Structure 1
């Protein structure tokens, strides 16, 4: 889906990082589109799979990836143009290093149900994260955010950018219209 609001989305995503010391990352879900994995490989951006260890090619193509984005880089423009509205992933503002952010995000890949059965938690899907965050109490928010300043993503209709952050131990949600 090619976004007609690419310039507005780009400006909103980079409005905070331009202040300095804050970086923009994306967690991308390779399972959402077969073009994501090859594009990451050719991006020239710093990236790493959030799954640990060596993966077979099928899993590597469908895995979640942390990617450090750079403004006006071809990959960043492609991601916004093609991925916005198709739930390819979520964006993150943080002052954390790539390594520290990756370590933090890996903690949430596996969760356990009431019978202690392990389950994958696809929090990097905007449909999941935008539903999950408002249900969190202050302790859970502190855990999920950790070094993350804000999570940003499309809304369910892709006509708003949702910006989640913590203020006074409570979730703060801003909706930025793209129309």
Structure 2
């Protein structure tokens, strides 16, 4: 299962490989969408080393995950089963939502938090799935334990290769359950939704901390990654308290909190421009850049400089 949106180089690589594949999305898709769509690709360990070449090329960077099935489980059946999992029920107002299980960053959070019934429904014709661990090229192996959501670990790509070859040669047990003709509806529990939301929030904070260091390298000197991420997480909490929601507005708020300090919104000029009115809060945040006087920006900057000086003068442990 490959998520080409994670890396634009994957789709051309798939076309060049000639391996049997199907897009998980249906309908008339534009070339632009096909280039970033999820694909299910059929690999066969009995047909030379082509499967290993593709696996080696894409493993790392959380660009896909691997499912082991019996040989009689063909590409059409796998696509039908996986498509049946794409939508999960939502609220009466919002309707169903797309479950991005094809993104390994989502799947490695989803499966360990699944109930036995959920895991069995997800697995369907898959005997097991192998997903990259978050911090390395190791694989989380789900589906081979006493419960389908049990997670084991394979160390690195070589061990993963050995396991796949043995499993496909039927030296490892494969307990395959075929899905019913109508597929299944996978319902997420509040615990899964919380885990997925927290994981997405953590990754967003890590990305913003990385962008801060890239945009203001000198200002980030002397600040550890953990310190930057802690500032970003607190700034995101403050931003959401103001009901900011879009990625752009959250990013802008974090940038302001970094430059002028947490709590910058308590400055009288900032507070006045952010006061609730009939405009969306994102538009009120934009007013800061359009309407705030130069003197107020200078005042904010002076306050940030004073706090930075106090931090540098504070005693440090040896």
Query: Normalised by the shorter chain, which TM-score bucket?
Result: 0.7 to 0.9
Greater share of helix residues, 1 or 2?
A: 2
User: Which of residues 47, 51, 57 is equivalent to 1:82?
Assistant: 57
1:145–1:170: structure 2 CA closer, same or farther, 3 Å change rule? closer
Counterparts of 1:1-20 in structure 2, within 5 Å, are none
Structure 1 counterpart of 2:68: 93
Q: Is the 8 A contact 1:141 1:166 kept in 2?
A: no
SS in 2 for 1:62: coil
1:155 lines up with 2:112 in the alignment: no
Greater share of strand residues, 1 or 2?
A: 1
With normalisation by structure 2, the TM-score equals: 0.45
Aligned residue pairs, count:
152
Deviating runs (4+, > 6 A) in structure 1?
none
Counterparts of 1:1-179 in structure 2, within 5 Å, are 27-71=1-45, 72-74=48-50, 76-77=52-53, 79-95=54-70, 96-115=73-92, 116-178=94-156
Q: Distance in 2 between matches of 1:88 and 1:40?
A: 13
Q: CA deviation at 1:113?
A: 2.1
With normalisation by structure 1, the TM-score equals: 0.76
Structure 1: 5+ residue stretches without partners: 1-26
Kindly name which structure, 1 or 2, has the bigger radius of gyration based on alpha carbons.
2
1:42–1:170: structure 2 CA closer, same or farther, 3 Å change rule? closer
SS in 1 for 2:27: coil
Tell which has more relative contact order, 1 or 2 (C-alpha 8 A, sep 6+): 1
Structure 2: 5+ residue stretches without partners: 158-318
| CA deviation string 1:139-164 (max 9, x = no partner) | 11111011110010110012411110
